[in-house]
Structure 1
């Protein structure tokens, strides 16, 4: 293990390091002496102790038990049996929009696809129309910094609270009410069984919205962009069977992870190669760099690893393949306008917008 791939730094007056080595990054993600950092955990830690944290921000035995109990919702067998038909139907509905109108924003079509699929998996199925617009407002391209020391900070506090309330009233509360009347076999029903309150269920749903809906949209868009601009790659994808297509998607995700950086904080002294980190050190894992090591195959660490590995990995890849394989089978499909690209530097995440495609002849 090369110590050159572990860079000691100082961040906020505390110990920190940046890891670009695959084996070290994977070891940190699997370590029981690290906990979640970044991804807004600092804000969540300010919540009263009586409020249960979403699963993304929990660690230890409580987190492991929750993942054990909910793993059944994301197994390949369940996804194939319960959601493949839904994915095919929703993909066809979105592509019917493209056929009907002749042109469409691929970012919008893929987002609606991801929303429908993840909503079915977690049980967010009684929503009023417009969940895609509500989520776009909740996850804007540019985030401000909420706070109470400036007018801008206060406006962002108000803005986010309004968005929270809007999603709760239009999406979460109807789903919770329906499942209190009649339990179903989904994540929201499970959370109700555990005694979670409405606000706590909202937190879990928003976690899955970010980790399942938003990220899948970006991945579908970046794959489509590659296929539009690389004819050999496009032929390889469209000419392959499902296992071959999935392998290609894994490879593209390894090279283009939607979240390029993950962070952990040590809860005990931790030895990384020739570096000894103290308790409380921040570890910044450069997933984009680690995935480039020659021996890495599959998606690498793009879905994370260890206790916090993305439970919906199989869901995301299957829905991406169903949507993309149908999209690129459309006669006359072409890219009209390449996507506008933005980055979220905190997590090295890309966003692709205004991605216009068409099935009409040019001119």
Structure 2
């Protein structure tokens, strides 16, 4: 049994802030509502590492594949050889050494610029600051730098702030589709606006830069859009890649920054430990908060062939081919069987089973593990270190909002203030 080696919490201690109503301990494997629900760390990890045994079924992938005329699917959606090829080609943008070399200065500059707002001594909502900060960093990595960054952040936030049904599968019945048509039309309009105002200008600017570089001029930008143009992606295919990178790099980072700040605000000892630690120590704290508070709580997979699973009691389950799996990341990340009885308490540097990462399943695992994990942690470490050196205090009680399809949380109303800068 693993757990916290420093100051083990009582068995019933719970530090988690984001816990959907009704998401209490349930069976490791359960067939319900036409899906198989998988909740243990061992089985979630086994499925995510199963490679060709399953395929992506979350983030509206199946609805998109029925309705969009794409030859190349976004890296989030693709599977099999096409996905492996995509991941190998984009790896150079997200390797830890590359991230530290190419983006540390950018992240530091953007963090200082946005956190300077606290110098006026007035209260500020961290949600807005975190959104614009994470958007500008992600925009540089992607190449979305030919439009107004603040307006782009608002456009993306508006697009992702959709009813739950917009993020799931299209309704099957004709009447349900009729009723949901206005929402889908609104979503399509927001996506079109993002394309016209942000993606198309970026594509045009990149093509000009590539042509100039080809004629012996300035060096072409080295980012995702340059790579996609070089691979012959269509404008629609580039749009879809920008959208998926935007969700991962802007929206999820925004929420984690706030959640981590909330924990550090309320736990003075942890905050002092964070501020006095070296980089490895700060990252250990961030990984543990992320383990406890994964931004995406559920992942989905579709079984290709019959899939046998054996739970911790030795009971065998045969998942039929074609079945949809709902993987509970939040429960896997606090599985007491592998993480100890104090798995719902916060303990940076806790003992973990061999092969389990500090954040456990919060970045996913296997072939679809989040490629941007290194830059997300770099952003969080630098932003929060600079934030708390301003001696900020909490001015309001935050609230949690939920997106039910992926059990993703949004922190709202995290209002902070710092002493006025002299």
Match of 1:36 among 53, 56, 60: 56
Give the secondary-structure state (helix, strand or coil) at the position aligned to 1:117. Answer: helix
Match of 2:111 among 91, 102, 106: 91
Question: In the aligned structure 2, how far is the partner of 1:346 from the partner of 1:41?
Answer: 13
CA contact (8 A) 1:225 1:338 kept: no
Give the secondary-structure state (helix, strand or coil) at the position aligned to 2:66. Answer: coil
CA contact (8 A) 1:44 1:53 kept: no
- Give deviations 1:83-115, integer Å, cap 9, x for gaps: 000000000010112213622110111111111
CA contact (8 A) 1:6 1:17 kept: no
Question: In the aligned structure 1, how far is the partner of 2:67 from the partner of 2:231?
Answer: 20
1:283-322 maps to which residues of 2 (within 5 A)?
283-293=325-335, 294=339, 295=352, 298-322=358-382
Match of 2:317 among 254, 267, 275: 275
1:166 aligned residue: 193
Structure 2: 5+ residue runs without aligned partners?
1-25, 211-220, 311-315, 340-351
Question: In the aligned structure 1, how far is the partner of 2:44 from the partner of 2:388?
Answer: 36
RMSD, aligned CA: 1.9
1:249 aligned residue: 286
Indicate yes or no: 2:244 matched with 1:207.
yes
Indicate yes or no: 2:36 matched with 1:17.
yes
Question: In the aligned structure 2, how far is the partner of 1:350 from the partner of 1:290?
Answer: 17
1:1-363 maps to which residues of 2 (within 5 A)?
5-12=27-34, 16-31=35-50, 32-100=52-120, 102-129=122-149, 130-140=151-161, 142-143=163-164, 145=166, 149=175, 152-183=179-210, 184-273=221-310, 274-293=316-335, 294=339, 295=352, 298-331=358-391, 333-360=392-419
Task: Indicate how the Cα distance of structure 1 residues 353 and 308 shifts in structure 2: closer, same or farther if over 3 A, else same.
Answer: same
Structure 1: 5+ residue runs without aligned partners?
none
CA contact (8 A) 2:274 2:282 kept: yes
CA contact (8 A) 1:341 1:350 kept: yes
TM-score of the aligned structures, taking structure 1 as reference length: 0.93
For these two proteins, the number of residue pairs brought into alignment is 354
What's the CA shift for 1:154? Answer: 2.3
Question: In the aligned structure 1, how far is the partner of 2:142 from the partner of 2:322?
Answer: 34
CA contact (8 A) 1:343 1:351 kept: yes
CA contact (8 A) 2:157 2:251 kept: no
Task: Indicate how the Cα distance of structure 1 residues 282 and 84 shifts in structure 2: closer, same or farther if over 3 A, else same.
Answer: same
- Give deviations 1:231-251, integer Å, cap 9, x for gaps: 121111112111100011001
Question: In the aligned structure 1, how far is the partner of 2:119 from the partner of 2:236?
Answer: 40
Task: Indicate how the Cα distance of structure 1 residues 337 and 306 shifts in structure 2: closer, same or farther if over 3 A, else same.
Answer: same
CA contact (8 A) 1:103 1:360 kept: no
Task: Indicate how the Cα distance of structure 1 residues 141 and 96 shifts in structure 2: closer, same or farther if over 3 A, else same.
Answer: farther
CA contact (8 A) 2:159 2:187 kept: yes
TM-score of the aligned structures, taking structure 2 as reference length: 0.80
Question: In the aligned structure 2, how far is the partner of 1:212 from the partner of 1:152?
Answer: 32
- Give deviations 1:196-238, integer Å, cap 9, x for gaps: 1111111111101111210011101001111111112111111
Indicate the structure whose relative CO is greater, using CA pairs within 8 Å and at least 6 residues apart.
2
Question: In the aligned structure 2, how far is the partner of 1:7 from the partner of 1:221?
Answer: 32
Task: Indicate how the Cα distance of structure 1 residues 330 and 141 shifts in structure 2: closer, same or farther if over 3 A, else same.
Answer: farther
What's the CA shift for 1:21? Answer: 1.7
Question: In the aligned structure 2, how far is the partner of 1:8 from the partner of 1:21?
Answer: 11
